[in-house]
């Protein structure tokens, strides 16, 4: 296959792409990576799933399909982010960005999440003062 000047053949996808579609690699003879940016990105995501969660892309996709393709919490947005317990590392499900970030902002603490739900439902969480500096929390 003849490759035009200013282009390179990707060993992964087999496509000829312009040099702008390649990362630089100072140790390579032509100064460019062996795989195009798109192929590196796909492989990078797959590697991250395996390293971080022990999942393949197929396993993640099966979880998303089992959830109907949507976030397991809000059941509206697309499920794209693998959620896991930061203590045990166990994968819980696949969430949308907003729900995953929300759980993270509340530090994965069920007690805080329950209070947040009660707050949103209009049940204000107000501790009762028993003595100066001593509070009783509602049960």
Domains and CATH numbers, the chain: 1-54 (3.30.60.130), 56-108 (3.40.1800.10), 115-139 (no CATH)
- Residues 51, 56, 60, 63: is their CA dihedral positive or negative? negative
Tell me the percentage of the chain whose pLDDT exceeds 70: 96
Q: Please give the structure tokens belonging to residue 22.
A: 């390649």
Strands (DSSP E) contained in the chain are: 7-9, 16-18, 22-24, 32-36, 81-84, 91-95, 128-131, 134-136
Query: Are 57 and 49 spatial neighbours (Cβ–Cβ below 8 Å)?
Result: yes
Going from the C-alpha of 30 to that of each of 10, 24, 78, 112, the distances in angstroms are 13, 9, 41, 55
Residues 6+ apart with CB under 8 A from 44: none
The pTM for the full model equals: 0.69
Give the model confidence (pLDDT) of 64-123 as tens digits: 999 999 999 999 999 999 999 988 999 999 999 999 999 999 999 999 999 899 888 877
Strands (DSSP E) contained in 65-115 are: 81-84, 91-95
Of 72 and 137, the one with more pLDDT: 72
């Amino acid at each position: 296959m003849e490759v035009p000047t200013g282009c390179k053949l990707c060993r992964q996808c087999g496509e000829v792409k312009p040099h702008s579609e390649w990362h630089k690699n100072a140790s390579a003879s032509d100064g460019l990576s062996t795989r195009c940016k798109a192929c590196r990105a796909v492989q990078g995501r797959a590697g991250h799933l395996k390293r971080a969660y022990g999942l393949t892309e197929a396993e993640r996709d099966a979880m998303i399909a089992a959830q109907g393709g949507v976030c397991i919490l809000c059941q509206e947005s697309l499920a794209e982010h693998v959620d896991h317990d930061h203590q045990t590392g166990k994968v819980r499900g696949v969430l949308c960005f907003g729900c995953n970030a929300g759980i993270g902002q509340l530090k994965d603490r069920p007690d805080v999440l329950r209070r947040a739900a009660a707050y949103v439902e209009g049940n204000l969480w107000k501790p009762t003062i028993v003595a100066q500096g001593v509070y009783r929390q509602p049960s």
